[in-house]
Amino acid sequence: MSEPESAQDFHATRLEDSSSGEDDTDMHESVKHQEQDECPPSTNTNTGAATSNEYDEDEWRENEFENPPVDGNMRVVASHYNELKESGRTERVKSRIFHMRNFNNWIKSQLISEYIKRIKTNQRMGDPMRVLDMCCGKGGDLLKWEKAMITHLICTDIAEVSVEQCKRRYEDIIRRAEHSKFAHKFTAEFFACDSTLVRLRERFKDPSLKLNLVSCQFAFHYSFESLTQADCMVRNAAECLQPGGFFIATIPDAFEIMKRLRASPNGRSFGNEVYNIEFCSDTNPPPFFGAKYQFHLEGVVDCPEFLVHFPTLEKLCRKYGLKLERKTTFADYFKENMDNGRNLLQRMSGLETVYPNRVGNDEQYEHIKRYCKGNTGRPYGSLSKSEWEATTLYLVCAFRKCKNTWDSQGKPVFEFD
Ligand SMILES: C[S@@+](CC[C@H](N)C(=O)[O-])C[C@H]1O[C@@H](n2cnc3c(N)ncnc32)[C@H](O)[C@@H]1O
């Protein structure tokens, strides 16, 4: 490949190089920015985003018996991700969810850097930073780990093909780093397995390894098929974390999903031109585990998923010494991070540049016409209404591993405060 001629070329070249389409663009400091305001649809339109976060427990049903995992579900998930085709940059740019995927990627970047910073404030210079990327996929977060200057990474996923791709991308990063004085190198290990069935530490090269951070992005909800699976996944997230370490995740917001479902005309499905959710299980009321729906997201997901009843997740986490630190919807996390994350969001093309005087009668961008208050000639950064509705289905959450003592039976007693 020939040397890129300008910053813009460099940007494009690097993106073409990336294999998953979920790559960071964090490193391309020199890409030109355009002065623009951010105006997501939430600012002016009612997208149906939840305003209250209260769970009405009468709306949910505690499972009377343990629903055994249906063998087929995880196989469907694994083969879906294994068969997912790589799309090139040109194709991705054309996709109706191009900006939303970048926006989601930005949310992950902000979350990772927030918790890496918190861990580092309590470390001494030269201390290791060890991370488990549980359900790593094709390695969409590898550049984030490089940028976070971690020392060791463990990557695992149920889809073998994805793990192989992730490993190859890691090897590319290390090869590039070898030719650069400034690039950061870190060690890594990779293995394919089902995190809801297997005790991960037994697969680590060093099963006694202590981790600083466990990250599970857009995947934890697959475990809520049954209590046994969710319990296994939480134990995997918790048991190797050092006290003071964090478990961070992005998951669909069950509260928001139920709210939209209740408002839908047929009571079983809802969505728009980029996503669709159709329930397969009884939702009157939904069970704590096994509340299954088919999730379709344009061109990238078509899989069975499960609602995560958050108070139950919190209880499971406490069992393994994880204390809830934050639970924030994407809409709120975006607002919270806008000031310090603005430049990165632009570099990652996490918002679309929209000129109010060019949107005509397109209802996807009506909110911009309202927001600009007649100032129609200048650009605004935004997402289409459909993309915003899809991204606001999610929340970020973080749990901190607590210190413990041991009781006379040899069981850990966690100190939650
Ligand atoms: C939406 S992708 C997210 C990938 C990656 N974390 C990211 O953010 O780019 C969900 C991933 O979860 C993985 N996954 C689903 N169920 C799993 C399980 N039981 N054990 C391990 N991985 C699982 C899938 O194979 C897929 O790679």
Predicted local confidence at residue 293, as pLDDT: 96
- Higher local confidence (pLDDT), 184 or 336: 336
Question: Minimum mean pLDDT among 49-53, 68-72, 203-207, 394-398: which range?
Answer: 49-53
* Ligand 1 center from residue 316 Cα (angstroms): 20
Q: Is the pLDDT confidence value at 287 over 60? A: yes
Q: Is the pLDDT confidence value at 33 over 60? A: no
- Higher local confidence (pLDDT), 17 or 335: 335
Q: Is the pLDDT confidence value at 136 over 50? A: yes
Whose Cα sits closest to atom 8 in ligand 1? 217
φ, ψ dihedrals at 18, nearest 5°: -70, 145
* Ligand 1 center from residue 104 Cα (angstroms): 15
Predicted local confidence at residue 114, as pLDDT: 98
Q: What is the pLDDT of residues 166-203, one digit of tens each?
A: 999 999 999 998 888 888 899 999 999 999 999 999 99
In a 13 Å sphere around the CA of 93, the CA atoms on its Cβ side amount to 8
What is the percent of the chain where pLDDT is above 90?
66
Predicted local confidence at residue 5, as pLDDT: 29
Q: Which of 330, 271, 277, 285 is nearest to 306 (CA)?
A: 277
Predicted local confidence at residue 63, as pLDDT: 78
How would you class 270 by CB atoms within 10 Å of its CB: exposed for 0-12, middle for 13-18, buried for 19 or more? Answer: buried
- Is residue 197 within 8 Å of residue 232, measured between CB atoms? yes
Instruction: Among 92, 100, 157, 195, say which to mutate for ligand 1: greatest number of ligand atoms within 8 Å of CB.
Output: 157
Q: Which amino acid is at 61?
A: R
Mean pLDDT, residues 51-73:
69
* Ligand 1 center from residue 34 Cα (angstroms): 35
Instruction: Please report where in the chains the tokens 């200057």 appear, as a residue.
Output: 149
Q: What is the pTM of this model?
A: 0.88
Binding-site members are: 104-105, 108, 135, 157, 194, 217, 222
Confidence band for 30, pLDDT divided at 50, 70 and 90: very low
Query: Rounded to an integer, what distance in angstroms lies between the CA atom of residue 216 and that of residue 228?
Result: 18
Q: Is the pLDDT confidence value at 312 over 60? A: yes
Q: Is the pLDDT confidence value at 378 over 80? A: yes
| Residue 194, ligand 1, Cβ within 6 A | yes
Query: Rounded to an integer, what distance in angstroms lies between the CA atom of residue 73 and that of residue 80?
Result: 11
- Is residue 300 within 8 Å of residue 276, measured between CB atoms? no
Instruction: Among 19, 24, 105, 158, say which to mutate for ligand 1: greatest number of ligand atoms within 8 Å of CB.
Output: 158
Q: Kindly indicate whether the ipTM for this predicted assembly is greater than 0.95, answering yes or no.
A: yes
Q: Is the pLDDT confidence value at 90 over 80? A: no
* Ligand 1 center from residue 18 Cα (angstroms): 19
